[in-house]
Amino acid sequence: MAYFETLGLVKLFGGLAAVNGVSFDVNEGEICGLIGPNGSGKTTIFNLINGYFPLDKGEIYFNGNKISGLKTHKICREGIGRTFQIVKPLKRMTVLDNVLASAFLRSHTKSEAVELAEKTVSFCGMTSLKDKVAGSLPIASRKRLEITRAMATKPKLLLLDETAAGLNPVELEEAIALIKKIRDSGVTIIIVEHIMKVIMTVSDRVVAINHGMVLAEGTPEEVASHAGVIAAYLGEDYCAAG
């Protein structure tokens, strides 16, 4: 069995099948990119994985355990961390306190948690901002804070939801460097991203989604040249030419 595996995920919103039978695997230590046009169901898949939405059908296995049906905080305890596309900083707390709140999960005492939070903050390059109130941060730092907070729960699998959206080119390079650094520290990553530069440079494998179904799967190059993917993004006309 794969390290992380989804089997026939189905999520219905009323009559709309937002996710309709999605199955894919992720191997330990790799970065798996999840791409697809707007509304194709990428974020919904994340919400299903971390238990924010209940599944209508399907199963999710992680590290040999079935995690579908567990509550969100239990799934985090199992070792799956996530960031939110629409960032959710704990606004009236400082950056360090944000990270500290999540560092408690893997710590027995407060001093242990403070140590872990400090370490995670410096790992993610936020040391200079640690005493700032989270609500005062610009978007790039908020996105980085999302990652830092998730990392402080010591995840084995990290779900990154559009952490590069809205960043300028310099910040983009920093974000890519951070994602690679996290992978190199032994964390498996599933990343949802629209910016192709990020997907193409960091992903080991890409899964393309459209209309809540898996369209293509393979290396970044294979998926980018896949006729169905081009049609989904650019329309049928470009497909024949490509």
Partner 1 sequence: MKNHLGPLAFLLVLIAFPLAVRDPYYQHLMILVLMWVAIGSGWNLIAGFTGQVSFGDAAFFGTGAYTAGLLAHKLGMSAWWGLGLGGIFAVIIAFPFGWICFRLRGAYFALATLALNEVMRHTATIWESLTEGMVGILIMQTFVSKIPYYYIALAIAVVSLISVQVVMSSRWGYYFVSIREDQDAAESIGIDTHYYKMVSLCLAAYLTGLAGSLYMNYMGFIDPTIVFSLHDISIMAILVGIVGGVGTVYGPAVGAFIMVAVSEVFRTGGFGLLEKLTAATGSPVMVLVTKYIKEAHVLTFGLLVIFVILFLPNGVVGGWRKSRRSH
**Interface residues with partner 1 (CB under 8 A)?**
50, 52, 71-73, 76-77, 81-82, 84, 88-93, 97, 100-102, 104-105, 110, 113, 149-150, 152-153
Judged by CB, which is closer to partner 1: 93, or 176?
Answer: 93
CB atoms within 10 A of CB 199: 21
CA distance 197 to 199: 6
Judged by CB, which is closer to partner 1: 33, or 89?
Answer: 89
Judged by CB, which is closer to partner 1: 152, or 229?
Answer: 152
Task: Could you list the beta-strand ranges (E) of the chain.
Answer: 4-13, 16-26, 31-35, 57-62, 65-66, 80-82, 157-161, 188-192, 205-210, 213-218
> Which pair of tokens denotes residue 136?
């005062």
Q: Is the separation of the CB atoms in 143 and 87 below 8 Å?
A: yes
Q: What is the DSSP letter of 90?
A: -
Least gap, CB of 110 to partner 1 (angstroms): 7
Judged by CB, which is closer to partner 1: 59, or 97?
Answer: 97
Least gap, CB of 124 to partner 1 (angstroms): 14
Least gap, CB of 132 to partner 1 (angstroms): 13
Residue 13: strand pairing partners: 16
Task: Could you list the beta-strand ranges (E) of 111-235.
Answer: 157-161, 188-192, 205-210, 213-218
Least gap, CB of 104 to partner 1 (angstroms): 5
Least gap, CB of 101 to partner 1 (angstroms): 4
Judged by CB, which is closer to partner 1: 52, or 123?
Answer: 52
Which residue has 């899964």 as its token pair?
Answer: 207
